[in-house]
Amino acid sequence: MAEEAKASLPTAVVEDAQEAPPTTVAVEAQEAPTATAAVAKAPPQLELFNSMTKKKEPFQPRVEGKVGMYVCGVTPYDFSHIGHARAYVSFDVLYRYLQFLGYEVEYVRNFTDIDDKIIKRANERGETVTSLSSRFINEFLDDMAELQCLPPTREPRVTDHIGHIIELITKIMENGKAYAMEGDVYFSVDSFPEYLSLSGRKLDQNQAGARVAFDTRKRNPADFALWKGAKEGEPFWDSPWGRGRPGWHIECSAMSAHFLGHVFDIHGGGKDLIFPHHENELAQSRAAYPESEVKCWMHNGFVNKDDKKMAKSDNNFFTIRDIIALYHPMALRFFLMRTHYRSDVNHSDQALEIASDRVFYIYQTLYDCEEVLAIHRGEGISAPVPTEEQKMIDNHHKDFLDFMSDDLKTTDVLDGFMNLLKAINSNLTDLKVLKQLKEKALKRAGLTEEKLQEQIQQRNVARKNKQFEVSDGIRKNLATKGIALMDEPTGTVWRPCEPES
């Protein structure tokens, strides 16, 4: 069934999908238009949930008309999982909507290309850290392209900013907020009273605040590494404290400040980054430059498998590649957007099947409309849009703005979009256009409605008996003849499509 779901889009639709995302949320802005060009009527005030204040707040950028946004990127030591897809689709929606509203957005998303996990994996595979990280950076970028995520403005790598990192650590030490010990440098949480203001945790809840085991040399168990002294066989850079490499958190403080300044508008990532990563980022940045500020901290929810958080140890872990090998990439994007970005998403085969059907429905409707337009192309039709249809379009546009401006309510936007498509299909049916298109498709395929229904029934029996190769063979054979099958809750229906080669 999953293989069928991936292949079920009409040929012309699949080709179109490589160029444009499937929903209003994703398709409204390929480039940043002016505010007046993008929105005929002034949209409502954009409100975003701020993880620092724990409430929705009116979004007011630091500089009028411009937005600085930093989103923590991947550590490229393996293929990216659908938790990564969750984060970057969520912030791609925000990026697109800000552009749609007319903002000039400086979107920075980093690559942590030096890290304990990368070093360990490179050693296991007998390759260099640079080779491993570069390879998986390219794989990640391919995944993002499949999901139609727009490239950020900048995608810096940690290893290209070691100088900025050393400068920032030096500033923190000069301000008395960090200490060096045997080639390592630690941040002193006791020197920073605001520590844990983002997460709301208590200091006694925090042991190491890092990915490594507790180091007894620390003044406080919660102190975390800014710089790690070099170990044999590991990459290193020269520094005032000896050879070594950056700690986990300092990189994002350095790169966000370098590209966006010490005060910028939005900092985002998964909610698992609130502590320790973003908490430590905040502490480092303000310890070096007290004026440092993020106007709005934003965090997306997890992806769970059958209501349980995904984990490799539980064998319920899926990469983006795993999913798009079975389903069209737009089905994964639709599935993720069907849940509000701050809520956890529950992954299930059924949910992806439904998403796949909905994406097919979107593109099949667009295909049908293109067919109708092709019939009448060149006729110079100038009749006005009927009043009811115009009202429906206006209401949809208003709802789109209202929902998106209310902390990116993509669930409601997609529901409204599907209702709009249903109305379009209803109009096509009333005009008997689909009947004409179906008659044309049957004639082209050399079939009658009765013969086609016999094949649909054979396929349904095969699916019920889990003979998926048989059922998929029937579907593929019909697709080569220009007949696309759609599985809906009420049964299987068919629509004309471009014959697959």
What backbone torsions phi and psi does residue 140 show, to the nearest 5 degrees? -60, -45
**Continuous H helices in 207-267:** 250-260
**Are the C-beta atoms of residues 468 and 478 closer than 8 Å to each other?**
no
Is pLDDT of 13 > 90?
A: no
CB atoms within 10 A of CB 72: 23
Summarize the confidence of residues 153-164 as an average pLDDT.
99
Name the helix (H) or strand (E) containing 89: helix 82-100
Q: Report cis status (omega within 30 of 0) of the bond before 290.
A: no
More confident residue, 487 or 128: 128
**Residues 464/469/472/473 CA torsion (nearest 10 deg):** -120
**Does the pLDDT of residue 174 top 90, yes or no?**
yes
Alpha carbons within 13 angstroms on the beta-carbon side of residue 183 total 11
pLDDT value of position 61: 98
Indicate the SS3 state at residue 371: helix
| Cα separation, 11 vs 104, whole angstroms | 36
Does domain 46-349 fall under CATH 3.30.9.80? My reply is no
Weakest mean pLDDT among 64-78, 201-215, 218-232: 201-215
Instruction: Name, of 213-227, 243-257, 355-369, the range with top average pLDDT.
Output: 243-257
Average pLDDT over residues 431-442: 83
Mean pLDDT of all residues in 63-73: 99
| pLDDT digits 0-9 by tens, 229-254 | 999 999 999 999 999 999 999 999 99
More confident of the two residues 135 and 207? 135
Mean pLDDT, residues 270-293 taken together:
98
Angle, alpha carbons 86-91-96 (nearest 5°): 130
Pair 357, 5: CB distance under 8 Å? yes
Q: Is 288 helix (H, G, I), strand (E, B) or coil?
A: helix
Mean pLDDT of 15-40: 39
pLDDT value, residue 312 = 63
Q: What is the mean pLDDT of residues 402-409?
A: 99
Mean pLDDT, residues 357-380 taken together: 82
Per-residue pLDDT at 374 exceeds 90: no
Question: Which pLDDT belongs to residue 12?
Answer: 35
Q: Which two tokens stand for residue 179?
A: 């200490």
Stretch among 300-309, 347-356, 419-428, 429-438 having the lowest mean pLDDT: 429-438
User: Residue 426 above 90 pLDDT?
Assistant: no
Indicate whether 385 pLDDT > 90: no
pLDDT at 1 (0 to 100): 52
Instruction: Select the more confidently predicted residue: 80 or 208.
Output: 80
Query: Of 161-170, 199-208, 401-410, which range is least confident?
Result: 199-208
Determine the pLDDT at residue 6.
Answer: 53
Residue 316 pLDDT > 50: yes
Q: Please, which pLDDT band fits residue 3 given cuts at 50, 70 and 90?
A: low
Span 349-360, average pLDDT: 91
**Cβ neighbours of residue 399 closer than 8 Å, sequence gap 6 or more:** 412, 413, 416
CA distance to 377, 432, 457, 463, per residue, from 16 (Å): 20, 26, 30, 29
DSSP per position, 439-465: HHHHHHHT--HHHHHHHHHHHHHHHHT
pLDDT for residue 488: 76
Q: Sorting pLDDT into bands at 50, 70 and 90, what band is 20?
A: very low
**H or E element at residue 55:** strand 55-58
Question: Is the separation of the CB atoms in 253 and 221 below 8 Å?
Answer: no
Share of the chain above pLDDT 70, in %: 87
Distances (CA, A) of 175 to 192, 225, 293: 11, 16, 18
Q: Which residues partner with 412 through β-bridges?
A: none
Q: Which residues pair with 187 in a beta bridge?
A: 178, 224
Cα distances (angstroms) measured from residue 333 to each of 156, 327, 362: 25, 10, 13
Residue 371's pLDDT is 80
DSSP 126-143: T--HHHHHHHHHHHHHHH
Task: Give the pairing of strands 293-300 and 263-270.
Answer: parallel
The domain locations on the chain are 46-349, 437-501
Candidates 150, 116, 108; CA nearest to 133 is 116
Q: Give the burial string for 363-386 (b: 16+ CB within 10 Å, else e).
A: bbbbbbbebbeeeeeeeeeeeeee
The tokens describing 134, both together, are 């570069």
Residue 125: CB atoms within 10 A of its CB come to 11
